[in-house]
Amino acid sequence: MQSAVKVNGLSKSFGANNRALKEISFKISSGEMVALIGASGSGKSTLLRLISGLIRSDQLAETEISIFGKVIQKKGKISADARALRSRIGVVFQKFNLVNRLSVLTNVLIGNLGSMPRWKGNLGLFSKAQKRAAMHALERVGMVRQAMQRGSTLSGGQQQRAAIARSLVQGAELLIADEPIASLDPSSARKVMDILSDLNQRDGITVMVSLHQVEYALNYCPRTIALRDGEIVYDGPSQALTQDFLGELYGAESEELFLPGLSSKSDKPVKAATNGVAHPQLSA
Amino acid sequence: MSEIAQDIKIPVTPMRERLVSWASVLIVAGLLVWSWGPVEMYRWVSLFTDASNMGEFASGFLKPNFLDWDIYVADMIVTIQIAVWGTFLAVIVGIPFAILSSNNICPVWVVQPVRRVMDACRAINEIVFALLFVVAVGLGPFAGVMALFVHNLGVVAKLFSESVEAIDPQPVEGIRATGASKLHEIIYGVIPQVVPHWISFGLYRFETNVRSATVLGIVGGGGIGQLLWENIRSFAYSETAAIMIIIIASITLIDLLSQKLRKWAI
């Protein structure tokens, strides 16, 4: 199977003494849904921003990130095709990154900019078909009624769903979600994760999602990559991540990775993971 | 009680701070003394010795003569029209220059030269530009429009770029991540964020420009300034008073209106 993401010897430092990532390598196949977990400061966001080509890595000889077999950055230099590649990558941010003063529909239409003639984009000339596709994307995330509202009038969960609709319109083949549910209440969080999982299952979009809480990784993602202090400490099936194992990996920090109220019962997360009714991909 | 009084120490303002405040007072006093002679401030007594002249002068203004009000109003309207075009051109041309002089959008080797040119536009008063344009394009309102345009270009570029530099970068990053071009980022990410500020600044500049346009006529730049100047020079104080009242009324009206609009824009 073609690899969607291939990361080789990736390091990133901020200043002389702050190494956020230390020579990380991994591969994600097309169609996978992978969780990236770790305490705050472990390098999750940095890794995702590097993969989407928004920041540059350290200039080491072996450093290379490729998306669908094409290099997006190499040895700390963003490749010339980065713009074209970015249009195949949908990025969903913790803070949603919508333009508040534009309507939800316009925010979603922005997803078309990478793949239409530039002058048309500059003048805001979106075609009927593009508008219809945007409305379908909004329908998919349950936001049709809010299409003409300004971004600023939406709740956090709605803004995040609009941001996902933008990635859908973009025709993203890889969806990178950086803590998409960290600023959301539990029910909105579940809705957003359901949508991501649905996109993965039905449309075959590769999803890479960083999460703060292990429960969501267990529930939604068959595979988990765990980071600690800029290094991969675990890469494998999510089911193996029992609380004891996480305690081993993270020590005292593991407390941070569980939802309050569930952390006292170590069997809860595992039970949730084997619950095959809601998420059949985990029982397979 | 007495024990406490002896125990606790009252903090004293440090010597350095006291020296700094005394030095600032001395500097201001020094500046005032230095400028006294050259600006002939010693003539202040004439305000009292020539009080009768002043009284006569002022009494002329007490009987405004509105006989030619229609001419005054027509010229005031031209004055406002000069400000309308001057502001419009400055805003339209100022937007690209504002973007080019914003540190968070353009590299320093673009920002610095553009800013210096804008500084030069701003540094020279409208009246001076009007004098130059009267020579270049001839007497009349068009010279006034050009004068306002060039001076305000510098002002608008500076004000607009300050709001561009204060935007939230996250939505822009969101747009970049979709594979959009740099220009798309500006159109969809930057401009929607700054438009309310730009409208507000633009209206404020319009208010200021109507005020500036009332004197452009003195140097031949069109508008009501010419009438004003002619009447003052021919000691026609009643007519001067009428013109001034019309100017005050128009400017008050425009200020109130634009204040309302600015509130609505933000």
* Sign, Cα dihedral of A210, A211, A214, A216: negative
H or E element in which residue A94 lies: none
Find which of B167, B178, B197, B266 to mutate to test the A interface (most A CBs within 10 Å of its CB). Answer: B178
Closest by Cβ to A110, choosing from B180, B183, B196 = B180
Chain A nearest-CA distance from B90, in A, is 22
A78 DSSP β-pair partners: A73
pLDDT digits (tens, 9 = 90+) for A46-71: 899 889 888 888 888 788 898 998 88
CA distance A245 to A234: 10
Nearest CA in chain B to A110: B175
Is A114–B183 a contact, with Cβ atoms under 8 angstroms apart?
no
Kindly give the parts of chain B with pLDDT less than 50.
none
How far lies B120's CA from each of A61, A281, B3, B158, B161, in Å? 48, 67, 67, 12, 16
- Chain B environment of A118 (Cβ under 8 Å): 181, 183-184
Is B171–A97 a contact, with Cβ atoms under 8 angstroms apart?
yes
pLDDT tier, A275 (very low <50, low <70, confident <90, very high otherwise): very low
User: What ipTM describes this predicted complex?
Assistant: 0.74
DSSP B188: I
Is A99–B171 a contact, with Cβ atoms under 8 angstroms apart?
yes
Is B184–A113 a contact, with Cβ atoms under 8 angstroms apart?
yes
Q: What average pLDDT does chain A have?
A: 83
Structure tokens given for A141 = 């995330």
The gap between the terminal CA atoms of chain B, to the nearest Å, is: 59
Chain B CB within 8 Å of residue A128 CB: no
- Chain A environment of B174 (Cβ under 8 Å): 91, 93, 96-99, 163, 166
Residue A278: per-residue pLDDT: 39
* Sign, Cα dihedral of A272, A273, A274, A278: positive
Residues whose CB falls within 8 Å of the CB of residue B192, separated by 6 or more in sequence, listed in order: A99, A100, A101, A102
Residue A194: per-residue pLDDT: 92
pLDDT digits (tens, 9 = 90+) for A91-126: 998 888 899 889 999 999 999 988 888 888 888 889
Across the beta sheet with A33-37, the strand order is A89-92, A174-178, A206-211, A33-37, A223-228, A231-237
pLDDT tier, A258 (very low <50, low <70, confident <90, very high otherwise): low
Q: What letter represents residue A160's amino acid?
A: Q
pLDDT digits (tens, 9 = 90+) for A150-191: 988 898 889 999 999 999 999 889 999 998 988 888 888 999
Cα angle A59, A61, A62 (rounded to 5 degrees) comes to 115
Q: Is the pTM of this model over 0.95?
A: no
